[in-house]
Structure 1
Amino acid sequence: MSQTVLGLDIGQSTIKAVLLTKKGLTGNRILAAETLDINVCGGIEPALKKLSENKSFSKIPYCVCLPSGDVMFRQVNLPFHDDNKIRKTLTFELEQLIPLPIEEVATDYMKIPNDGLFVATLAKKIIQEWIEKVEVNLGSVFIIDVSSTALAAQVLTDKISQSGGVILDIGAVSTAAVFYENSSIVHARSLAFGGDQITAALAQDLSVEKDEAERLKIKDEYPAESVKVDETCHRFCMELKNTIEYLKLNGLIRNNLAHITITGGGSLFIPLQRKLEESFAIRPEVLDLIRSKQLEMEKNIEHKYSSQIMNTACAAAMRAFSGQKSFNFRQGEFAAKNTGFNIKEQFKWVAVVAGIIFFLAALNQLLDYRLKTQRLADIKKQITFLFKKNFPEAAVMIDPVHQLQTKLAENKKAFGFFEGIRNVPVIDLLKEISGLVSTSHDIVINDFSYENSAVTIKAQAKNIDDVSAVKNDLLQSKYFKDVAIGSTSLAKDGSKVDFDLRIELK
């Protein structure tokens, strides 16, 4: 491992880079830092080329952190703790939980309290594209992490607490929220709120252009009370509260918030800090990794370095030396290739591997029939457990692989996944559905899920005619491209119809 690493925080509108070197056993020093506006540079690749003009950033390993909006997070429980077993089973477990074919995604996980797993899933296409972009324009990529969790991992090394909290990285377009309990990350969400919304609200309050409002916001030259700004910050706090309640109801988090840590450009906006304190009765802590980690810095960059903006890039660089890890998608088929070759070292490893193979072969011959039978029984128990968990309605298990593949094929046929627009707030979708569906249909929605431009609804109606009427009503929406009826069945009491709807956004 090189003693100098560059952390790259790739956001939706900016790229931040921090060059960090190891100093002594525990110390670190920041040698260089840079921030680039993607739009000003003309796109991602021109911005990366611009970054390569800094000679300090060449011929060193890169830790790349991608925005959490590209990543799907899930909590999963499996009946074993061995890493090999977990990785072999995880893809099968996730197949029903993510809106992409399992062969098109890569996964990684962290262990969380109560024997759970916090799993991150990212499209392989995105991973490959970022490896190519960074390595063509800059240098070798040895870690691909998620910005929000890489930052949270560094924050939580200093927190020893049984209570829960949230870390909010407030960017220009969105806010990444990472929830933790017992000093462990348990969930993450991306919220549609950022500094651009604050600027737009400030422009309305002051009746000025957005550029001028942005300048006043940065210089803290705005009134103490602003109606539109207060409304915007209040809506964000309410969305955060609703998210917390949803996670608690689904058992994804268990405790109320005791800590709020904020970072990102939006964290410096005083009215937002005040509104968070009013809403949660908790004074938010503004994160500064330079101070909390006691990092040293070159004198020539101190004047242009803003900790709140650079915290995530700094955490990305520290990720290389930290004991507490986050995710890493630079493994498996995307593992970095070592081009070096030491013939003596290779012979040593060949000898070791040959010895291990010989030992295992001899051990295999000594295994008796009882041990093999017990192992087979354990495997059958695991298969039965997973089959009943994922296909409880099956009367009998005959060929579990074929039965589950058939069930998945049926589900995929009924609920196909599509690409669509993003960042339509859930509240807007709920308003749209409520406004389109006539009250005369007497529809009861039991479950609502919205992710990756797809909405799934489980509901109950008086009869099948009402189900068709609801579908036709929703097709009139300005947001919806297609509405498909999935499974339908008679309710237990026999008087109503249970049905599923799959809605594809435009």
Structure 2
Amino acid sequence: MTDKILGLDIGEDALKAVLAARIMKGVHRVVGASIVPIGETGGLPGALQKLFENPEYRGCTCVTALPARNISFRNLALPFRNEKKIRQTIAFALEPLIHCGIDDVLIDYVTVRTAETSEIFAAAAPKSAVRERLAMLEKQVRVTAPLDIDGITAASRLFGKGTEGGCELLIDIGATRTVAAFVHRGSLIQVRDFDFGGRQTTEALAESWGVGFAEAERRKRREQTGPAAADLPPCASLLAELKRTVDFLSWRGHIERGISRIQTTGGGSLYQPLREELSRAFSAPVFPADLAESSDIVMDPAVRAQWQPAILNQALALATRGHKRGMGLRFSEQDEKFKDAYVRFGGKLRWAAAGLLLFALLGLTDAYLDYRSADVRNTRLKNEITALFKRYNPEAKRIVDPLSQMKAGMMEARKVSQGMDETRPRVRVLDVLRDISALAPTGTELLLSSFTLENNIVTIRGQAGNFDAVDAIKRELAKSKLFGSVTIGATTLLKQGEQVEFDMQLSLKR
């Protein structure tokens, strides 16, 4: 099912509604249109009730607009082009230029031109006006889209592509108010709201003709010849204000030439002498606008039969407004809720972020201190191990891994103590002592006082009866299967008796 969009133009005298459905990308089909006089229904609430008695209008997405008279428009120049910076600073730039507090308005803007600076056209809408308009429709429609501004949506559709010529002007003349939208090269540069409308024109004609209001309105619609529009005070005032606005825009450099084209809409624009006077005043062609003539608008025959372009242009522009903002200005209370939430919780979030950052820094500091403490302790233990290694292994020339080297030394000492080495792992000290004891000559006095086994060399020191006994011991030990050679070292005759003290080295067989 195609989603339908209701464009609702809330005027001073009537509600204008257009119902459109999107049938393909960029193309809309107009399936309904209504005009409900406000005065005949007892006011705006009654007119809305009557409008939504039509079931086609209920429950759809509604697009409407705020009156331009409620909006403050300002031209600004900001010294940067970055969109983020513009959004962050535009409220501060607008604050001294509007009559109410910055917290009481919603702000939107369009960028007119960017060079060294950005030329901005900004609008500030009171939050109360936005909420009032949204509350008026919330019970009748499914969704209320962001609000536009009277006249700007139609100008966006008419002049959105822009031209290389001068400034283009859309004048929307309602019953009592007139909105003028100035567009230069596809960019909205100014919006003015004037206290002028079809009712003021009719009152001036009634006074000129000397007839009542109703008769003057009837003659005006029949385009009966009357005084020139420039001679009617309300029309003359409107023309003067428009000229002053054009002069202001030229003086500020927003436009290079004057007005190149004027299009009119609204019920008050049906007065032909006013269109002629506008053409003479600005030396520009004036055309009645009809958005239904656009190639992207398809209209049902029943709707075409009752179509009144001057009355329904604004409602049609709202119903066919795309998702892209274009050069329009829009206001959404939903966006402001997010902004309010950020303002409300932003400070708390910043404090929470600062607390988390402090907590993280404290955690990192604690981890670093733990690491440094462990590192200092580890260094101290290494130094103590190195000192112990040097103490018990002074012959070590190179220290790489004291603990491993000490363990290797202890293993080597254990092997030596057991009479084992890498080449003869089965030779034990007990085996050596057994052979010495067994091979010693019988009847020879032999007393061993020292025994060492190191690097496959057994060194014994002892006492024998005489020198011949020492030689006999050597000969017998040489017969052992364990010893490769037996060498007698120093031999000394003791002072008392004939006993001899000797040293003897026995090399183990490999």
Contact 2:108 2:122 in 1 (8 A): yes
* One-letter amino acid of the counterpart of residue 118, structure 1: F
Q: Percent identity?
A: 31
Alpha-carbon contact 1:8-1:313 (below 8 Å) kept: yes
- Amino acid across the alignment from 1:305: W
Distance 1:250 1:81, change over 3 A: closer
Q: Return closer, same or farther for 1:309/1:335 CA change in 2, 3 Å cut-off.
A: farther
Q: How do 1:344-423 residues align onto structure 2 when only pairs under 5 Å count?
A: none
1:147 is matched with which residue: 141, 147, 150?
150
For the Cα contact (< 8 Å) 1:108–1:121, is it kept in 2? yes
- For residues 92-115 of structure 1, give each alpha carbon's deviation from its aligned partner in whole angstroms, at most 9, with x where no partner exists: 111101000111111011111242
Q: Is the 8 A contact 2:3 2:60 kept in 1?
A: no
Aligned twin of 1:39: 39
* 1:224 CA displacement: 5.0
1:240-259 matches, within 5 Å, as: 240-259=242-261
CA shift digits 1:305-331 (9 cap, x unpaired): 201111111111111356735122114
Counterpart of 1:168 (choices 164, 168, 171) is 171
Q: Which moved more, 1:11-20 or 1:231-240?
A: 231-240
CA distance in 2: counterparts of 1:335 and 1:163, whole angstroms: 40
- The Cα of 1:298 is off from its aligned counterpart by 1.9
Counterparts in 2 of 1:321 and 1:44: CA distance versus 1, 3 Å: same
Equivalent runs, 1:216-295 vs 2, <5 Å: 216-220=219-223, 222-223=224-225, 225=227, 230-295=232-297
Residues 316 and 210 of structure 1, relative CA distance in 2, 3 Å threshold? same
User: What does residue 80 of structure 1 align with?
Assistant: 80
Q: Give the TM-score taking structure 2 as reference length.
A: 0.62
What letter matches 1:260 in structure 2?
I
Q: Which deviations, in whole Å up to 9, do the C-alpha atoms of 1:117-157 show, x marking residues without a partner?
A: 11110000111111111112344202211122111111113
- The CA deviation string for residues 42-75 of structure 1, in whole angstroms up to 9 with x for no partner, is 2222221111111111111111111111111111
CA drift at 1:259 = 1.4
Partner residue in 2 for 1:198? 201
User: Would the aligned equivalents of 1:75 and 1:252 in 2 still touch at CA under 8 Å?
Assistant: no
Q: Aligned with 1:160: secondary structure?
A: coil
1:70 corresponds in structure 2 to 70
Unaligned runs of at least 5 residues, structure 2? 340-356, 362-510
Quick check: 2:162–2:184 contact (8 Å CA) kept in 1?
no
Q: Is the 8 A contact 1:202 1:226 kept in 2?
A: no
Change (3 A) 1:64 1:89: same
| Residue matched to 1:10 | 10
Aligned length: 339
The residue that corresponds to 2:27 in the other structure is 27
Question: d(CA) in 1 for partners of 2:327 and 2:213?
Answer: 40
- When structure 1 is superposed on structure 2, of 49-58 and 325-334 the one drifting more is 325-334
2-side partners of 1:227 and 1:252: how far apart? 29
Over 3 Å counting, the alpha-carbon distance change for 1:334 and 1:298 in structure 2 is farther
Q: Which residue of 1 aligns with 2:317?
A: 315
The 5 A counterparts of 1:179-194 are 179-194=182-197
Task: Tell me by how many angstroms 1:28 deviates.
Answer: 1.4
CA distance in 2, matches of 1:5, 1:47: 19
CA shift for structure 1 position 296: 1.8
Give the distance between the partners of 2:249 and 2:48, measured in 1 at CA. Answer: 37
Q: In 1, distance between residues paired with 2:129 and 2:330?
A: 14
How far 1:192 moved relative to its partner? 1.7
What are the within-5 Å matches in structure 2 for residues 122-161 of structure 1?
122-161=125-164
Instruction: Write the deviation string for residues 409-443 of structure 1: whole angstroms up to 9, x where unpaired.
Output: xxxxxxxxxxxxxxxxxxxxxxxxxxxxxxxxxxx
Aligned in 2, Cα 1:57/1:325: closer, same or farther, shift over 3 Å?
Answer: farther
TM-score, with normalisation over the residues of structure 1?
0.62
Give the greater-gyration-radius structure (CA).
Answer: 2
Contact between 2:6 and 2:60, CA under 8 Å: does it hold in 1? yes
4+ aligned runs moved over 6 Å, structure 1: none
- The one-letter amino acid paired with 1:324 is G
Q: Aligned to 1:57, what secondary structure does the other structure show?
A: coil
Q: Please tell me whether the aligned partners of residues 169 and 262 of structure 1 are also in contact (alpha carbons under 8 angstroms).
A: yes
The farther-off stretch of 307-316 and 295-304 is: 295-304
Q: Does 1:112 align with 2:112?
A: yes
1:210 matched residue in structure 2: 213
Letter of the 1:176 counterpart: V
- How much does 1:25 deviate? 2.7
Give the Cα separation in 1 of the matches to 2:314 and 2:290.
10
Q: In 2, are the aligned partners of 1:111 and 1:118 still within 8 Å (CA)?
A: yes
Secondary structure at the aligned position of 1:248 is classed as: helix
Give the secondary structure class of the aligned counterpart of 1:113: strand
Secondary structure of the residue aligned to 2:36 is strand
Question: Does the Cα contact within 8 Å between 2:148 and 2:330 map onto a contact in 1?
Answer: yes
Residue in 1 that maps onto 2:403 = none
Cα distance in 2 between the residues matched to 1:303 and 1:209? 32
Which residue identity is paired with 1:54?
N
The Cα RMSD (Å) is 2.7
CA contact (8 A) 2:26 2:296 kept: no
The corresponding residue for 1:501 is none
The alignment partner of 1:305 has SS state of coil
Q: In 2, Cα distance between the equivalents of 1:236 and 1:313?
A: 24
Q: Equivalents in 1 of 2:254, 2:163: separation in Å?
A: 20
Contiguous gaps of at least 5 residues in structure 1: 337-360, 366-506
Q: Tell me if the contact between 1:187 and 1:252 (Cα under 8 Å) persists in the aligned partners.
A: no
Q: CA deviation at 1:79?
A: 2.6
Cα displacement (A) at 1:255: 3.3
Structure 1 residues 129 and 225, CA gap change in structure 2 (3 angstroms): closer
Deviations 1:242-291 (A, max 9, x none): 22223333455443211111111122211111111221121212111011
